[in-house]
Amino acid sequence: MFKFLTLFLILGATLSGCNTTRGVGEDIQTVGKGIERATE
């Protein structure tokens, strides 16, 4: 449950920080790169 809540909060903060569809795409890409680096 804690992991789900954390993910929800991160996604909410990410989506609220951008105003356009392009911004959402860039934010998702940034998150993906961060996850990729963390798994290495």
**Sign of the four-CA dihedral 8, 32, 13, 18:** negative
- 17 SS3 class: coil
Write down the pTM of the prediction. 0.46
Q: Which pLDDT score is estimated for 35?
A: 82
End-to-end CA distance of the chain: 26
pLDDT tens profile 1-40: 777 778 777 777 766 665 566 677 788 888 888 888 887 7
Assess contact for 27 and 15: CB atoms under 8 A: yes
Assess contact for 13 and 24: CB atoms under 8 A: no
Q: Residue 7 contacts by C-beta under 8 Å, 6 or more apart in sequence?
A: none
